[in-house]
Amino acid sequence: MNSPSPLRQPCPPGTCNCRRDDLLQTPGADGRILQLTRHEERRLLERLESVQSLYELERLQQRMFEQLGIRMTIAPSYNEVRSMRGIAVEFAEQPGLCRKTRQAIPAAIRRGLERHPEIAWRLLDSHDLLRDA
């Protein structure tokens, strides 16, 4: 007999805009994001921080979509890229994705890019920003 997978604990009332309750009450809604418990979130953040290549980062991005339904884009921002803060990490609107998680994932990605700046260069190059360099 299969036991249901553990769901993420709800945020304290008034502190988050994740609409977790709406997601739980909507029949047929994609509730995969609720499987991202705090323990699993820590593991994901560690994995994002220790990324070794652009391919690995893109693969993690794909797996996050497949397993949790998180649609995320990583691209240079419209302004100049002078530091890792110039790399834009944006999420598609998704009920159930906690506000703190929306902040923690980009921070972990930026820390990983700071450890391996060659990944940031590859990311910039993949968006054709270094064509004249």
CA atoms within 13 A on the CB side of 52: 0
pLDDT tens sequence for the chain (133 residues): 455 667 777 777 777 777 877 777 878 778 888 888 889 999 999 999 999 999 999 999 999 999 999 999 988 877 666 666 778 889 888 888 888 888 999 999 999 999 998 998 888 888 775 555 5
| pTM > 0.85 | no
| H or E element in which residue 113 lies | helix 99-115
Q: Do residues 98 and 32 touch, judged by C-beta distance below 8 A? A: no
Q: Do residues 116 and 109 touch, judged by C-beta distance below 8 A? A: no
